[in-house]
Structure 1
Amino acid sequence: MKKMNKLKKKYDEIEIPPELEDVVKDSIKQAKASQKKRPFLKQWTIGAAAAAALFIGSINMSPSFAQAMANVPLLGAIVDVFTAQQLTVDKETYQANVATPAIEGLADEELQASLNKKYIEENKVLFEQFQQDVAELDKAGGGHLGVDTGYEVRTDTEQLLSIARYEVNTVASSSTTMKYDTIDKQNSILITLPSLFKDDKYIATISSYIAGEMKRQMAADEDISYFLNDEFGADFEKIKPDQNFYITANNKLVISFDDYEVAPGYMGIVTFEIPTNILSDLLVSDAYIN
């Protein structure tokens, strides 16, 4: 509860424009209400449901029991990702739905606080930019503008947590960008793409595989298109050293590209799962990718 209060305090310090104060207050009330109703457990098989409910119930009722269980290596900490705040604007030509995630339960409270702070600040900047853009459009006689943000938990295992955060901007057309955080929950490490490999040879290896996969997909399906041999010179050459990525529950590396980054907009977010066999000699270890 103490950590939750600290997080709420940080949100309370975010300055919200006066004209949207009522809208924000309503959205916060709705967010809080939904959190209270948010089930702690997903659907379990009938046989496991009673035992799981008893176990979680014991943790909720007894802080000392929860602390004791957290000290058992096989169980570890229970990490939760939830919507801490949701800011909405719903007007005739202006729409915003800005949902901010927060993490609770990481053993490293400093890492947890830094991630939650990052999510808060990112969405604060985004919402303020939306406000400025709306004001400029109004001065120019009006227009259409929309922004939608949210998140998905892509991986949640005993070891790994991968969170994907999306941002959809709509003006004349829409574009989507994704950001990912992959965390080693056991060792409290925020994993970066370069940290997985011995050196930068992974860039060429992954890029070569993706280029080949693009060609294979285009040959198999005429509706699939990538920026290869592009007449405007926007050919895909290689991934960035810090290219967007996440790690799946079965320990596979997935490389992600935003709208228009390597393909026309109709292709949307494009991802490629990289075969581990082409990475094995390049990896620092098989702790995450195997």
Structure 2
Amino acid sequence: MGCLFLVLVFVLQHPIVIFSSHLCRQSQSLALQKLKQKLAVDDSSSANCEFNGHFPYPKTLSWNRSTNCCTWDGVTCDRVTGQITGLDLICSQLHGTIDSNSSLFKISHLQKLNLAYNDFSPSQISSKFGLFPRLTHLTLSRLGFLGRIPSQLLNLSKLISLDLSIGLEELRFGPHTFKMFLQNLIQLRELYLTSTYISSSLLLSGRYFSRTIPKSIGNLIQLNNLRLLSNNFNGSLLSTISNLVQLVEFDISSNNLTGDIPNIFSNFTKLKSLSLSYNLFSGFFHPQLQT
């Protein structure tokens, strides 16, 4: 009974400590409000969401400045500090641009950021996306971004998941940047680069340019999911891929890979999904996948 009395006294004397632990910080609330003001809501901006199992709706409409921003749609806060740690705006019907002056980059404690299936064309990916030191998940797919992928993303050393898939060949890695990604972001478990133009491993062969898969892809030993489909890769399927023994999904379909398929997949005891179709491989290969 005495302990209960002491707890009640503490609550009455320190109400701020107890009841403000979930409150969003005012500076971050203002940053989100400015982001909302700069981005318009357009029904057509998330038109393809339904085909990927998502329902489009404007999450930012719930962002009312008179309420705690930790309760807003798509916003996750740290329960103790009130810092915004997650922002999930997938399929939010947003249209506009996110440039280097965007208030988004003032939310410095982000760990997860998903902006997929909105329309930010024809802007580029800002180098300031590399200024989120705590970021573990970054999804910038199907946004209409074009141009070169900034090398500053290499600063995101804690990345576990990276999705830059676009469906259009307008977003590209610069010279050597892709190799540097494979060498430095070794914590990655998910890497999705569908239809992303990878120019970092260009080799001149006769009158044609060929893009080969860098050997350093074998550095990503934590990968669970790897999608490199529709990238016009040439050459052979490298044996260094055998290092990726944690793979559950591997899709390298719709490229121009040739030669024999190396006998490496028997080591992939966790592999559930494998797609090598629409390449130019010789011979016949039928992997035994775990079910």
Same fold per TM (> 0.5)? no
Bigger relative contact order, structure 1 or 2, given CA contacts below 8 A and separation 6+? 1
Greater percentage in helix: 1
- TM-score normalised to the size of structure 2? 0.27
